[in-house]
Amino acid sequence: MRKLIPIGFVIFLTHTACAQQSGQEKSGTEDKAKLSENEFNPRKDRRFGISVNGGGPAILASVSLDYFIAPRLNIEAGVGLPGSYLGMNYFIKTRKAKQNWLPYVGLHGFYILDVIDVNENKGLYIPLGMHYMSDKGFTFAMELAVVTGDIPFYGAIKLGYHL
């Protein structure tokens, strides 16, 4: 049953992102607040990124690669000290016309090497955070997360660039 929850979450996020892209409303006015998020979301044009992270699923520090499947859904993989992780983040749309700052929620699986003393070296990392992407690709994120295993709560700070 525990293995079905992450699979169901990924299916839900993928379905939601695809449905929102195909069903976006188009306004007849020129008011920027009414236009589609894709016209003002830098995540549409800058899909591939690299980040340096402090904290997060790899515990101490990591380098991660991520790719926006849709402007509000990305996959992320990272490797660092002393572990690695893979997961998805879903970015929540705000009412602002320009979508540089977006809140997000994610689901990541992680594996920690046996170089530190932890009872469980694999588990789930479920972040809730705030992500900034400038129009030129600079990214910054802060997150707090619920973690399965020894540490119930954790967090991360991320700095990066999207191409």
| pLDDT, tens digit (0-9, with 9 covering 90-100), for 19-37 | 554 444 444 444 444 445 4
| pLDDT, tens digit (0-9, with 9 covering 90-100), for 73-82 | 999 999 998 8
Fold of 4-13+37-162: Porin (2.40.160)
Q: What is the DSSP string of the chain?
A: -TTHHHHHHHHHHHHHHHHHHHT----SS--GGGS-GGGT-TTTT--EEEEEEEESTTEEEEEEEEEEEETTEEEEEEEEEEEEEEEEEEEPP-SSSS-SEEEEEEEEEEEE-TTS--S-SEEEEEEEEEEEE-TTSEEEEEEEEEESSS-SEEEEEEEEEE-
Task: Output the pLDDT for position 116.
Answer: 66
pLDDT reading at 96 higher than 60: yes
pTM: 0.75
